[in-house]
Structure 1
Amino acid sequence: MVVWTSAWLHGAAASDDVLDALQIWGESQEVRAADDELAAQLELPGPQDVPAGPAMLLAALRRAGAAGGELALPVSGDVRGLGGASAFAKQALRRGEAAVLPDVGLGLVPETIAEGILRWSVHSTGELPPAEHLPIGEAEHGMSSAMREAASTLVDLDIAKHRPGVREEIAETVADRPSPPWPQTVPQRPLRILQRASEVEAILWVATDDAPGGALSASATRARTEALKPLFDSVRAARRASVAEMVRVVAESADKH
């Protein structure tokens, strides 16, 4: 949503391309404003109204003067990109992801409400602090370093046990994640980093999923969680940096034309 909407707002993608790209996450997409005041302001359905389609959302963002988006991936203890306490921050934290359009003070939170149906809730974010800039090279290096450190720590703790079929589990987890299309002007480096982040995340989920009969003690589980937390954080940072880089390149490419 962040990359395709930014591309469309800069004239680097057609609206049909945006709508087609979103369908990989839900064949049916619907949109509602989070409150009646915002609904009236954006000319979108309110929380009690029949939802609209995503085309109406794109039109509303254009009318509002949006220029581009940012990705937020909040978790407990790290809610960067959400501002202070708000209905938007609460829903984004519960979902773990949001698209933020800071120049117009709007946030979009996706939620799967039934199989094949994805609903976008549009919130007012209020004034947000400037987004933290993390160079994409630094994010990539951080993820690689965190992975080495986590592996070393788990070995030292003697909880990095051999697990039959682990490679197959990881490959299956990666394969199950949809591979969305991207605008033509998106550079390859952030795409490679996003793919790597998906692979590392798959390793993380397998590492934290205890095999039957192999559950760890409470102290070992805590040690494992502490060892893996920096790696979880680095994956989120790599994703945010990759999306920010794609938005930047798409915008610059469009502006040159």
Structure 2
Amino acid sequence: MSSPSASLALWASSWLAGVSAPDDVIDAMADWAPMHLLVAADEASAQLTGLSWPSPRADGVASVLTAIRAQIPSPSSDAVIELLLPGPGAVENLPPSTGFARAALNAGQAVVVGLAGTDGLAFVPTVEGPDVMRWTVFTVDVLSHYVHDFSLGEAEFAMRDAVRGAADALGSMQSLPTRSTGGDARTRIANELSELMRHRYPVDVPERALRVLESADRVSAILSVARTFAPTEAPTAAAAMAREELIRPLWAAVRSARLSAVAAGIASSVPRT
């Protein structure tokens, strides 16, 4: 699992479908941090949700689930649980010029929960310390449709190409003159993958979505290692530009693939009427 928001989106949808127990969700989120703080983003959100503001409380993941259940109290075709992974040039699903948009961009992730076409909640995580994660809760308009760059089939195809492209990028990065002392690339990639794979998926995530997520993790691990072989202080402007041209489209493909795969996992489990 690549992020706390991806974990929350998949596990919450599995819980709402009755496949996973609350303790399963709490255990999965505890792998990210043993303590979870919850706070409303502003006074209006606090009044709507009953959450504390402006100081967070150590309410834990159980309170996150309570807030989600309040938004989706029963099975509905309008139920929305949406993972967002915004970044530079990828803000299509964010409400412009809002506190939520700024927070989600800074975090690079968020989860939107509610019924389509109504006011819902958005959860944005930030790391407060080695063992503490803070969830800031915003009131947002829940869209009836969220933009995805890929279908699941397209994401699977894109990840096959991206695995090869990432390996080529790593080879090119290692040939650039840098200040990195390096190390064994395969070992470092394995360590990156091990960190991503220690976070579990619910049992109801479709096998095809899991394949896409695992491929995205593999590409991400290779790119992360490649980046350390060519650190920010590249010796020449040309080397820095060459590095960015190699990795930018690959990171974009990883982001799109993760969004598509998580959306497919949620669609398979969110309760419907």
TM-score band (shorter)? 0.7 to 0.9
Instruction: Tell me the distance in 1 between the aligned counterparts of 2:262 and 2:207.
Output: 12
Match of 1:98 in 2: 110
Match of 1:59 in 2: 66
Of 46, 53, 72 in structure 1, the residue corresponding to residue 53 of structure 2 is 46
Instruction: Tell me the distance in 2 between the aligned counterparts of 1:32 and 1:43.
Output: 10
Of 214, 225, 244 in structure 2, the residue corresponding to residue 206 of structure 1 is 225
Specify the code of the residue in structure 1 equivalent to 2:175: K
Match of 2:89 in 1: 77
Aligned residues: 251
Instruction: Tell me the distance in 1 between the aligned counterparts of 2:141 and 2:174.
Output: 45
Superposition RMSD in Å = 2.6
- Give TM-score scaled by structure 1 length: 0.86
Instruction: Tell me the distance in 2 between the aligned counterparts of 1:154 and 1:179.
Output: 24
Kindly provide the CA deviation profile for residues 14-39 of structure 1, in whole angstroms up to 9, marking residues without a partner as x.
22221111111001112111112211
- Give TM-score scaled by structure 2 length: 0.81
Asked whether 1:89 is paired with 2:115, we answer: no
Instruction: Tell me the distance in 2 between the aligned counterparts of 1:210 and 1:153.
Output: 11
Percent sequence identity is 36
Match of 1:108 in 2: 123
Instruction: Tell me the distance in 1 between the aligned counterparts of 2:170 and 2:38.
Output: 44
8 Å Cα contact 1:33/1:45 also seen in 2: yes
Structure 2: 5+ residue runs without aligned partners? 1-7, 74-78, 177-181
Of 138, 147, 151 in structure 2, the residue corresponding to residue 123 of structure 1 is 138
Instruction: Tell me the distance in 1 between the aligned counterparts of 2:107 and 2:23.
Output: 27
Moved more, 238-247 or 38-47: 38-47
Structure 1: 5+ residue runs without aligned partners? none
Q: Give the C-alpha shift of residue 136 in structure 1.
A: 0.9
Q: Give the C-alpha shift of residue 102 in structure 1.
A: 5.3
Shift of the 151–122 alpha-carbon distance from structure 1 to 2, 3 Å rule, reads: same
Instruction: Tell me the distance in 1 between the aligned counterparts of 2:114 and 2:91.
Output: 15
Of 154, 158, 161 in structure 1, the residue corresponding to residue 175 of structure 2 is 161
Instruction: Tell me the distance in 2 between the aligned counterparts of 1:16 and 1:68.
Output: 22
8 Å Cα contact 1:95/1:111 also seen in 2: yes
Map 1:166-185 → 2, pairs under 5 A: 166-185=185-204
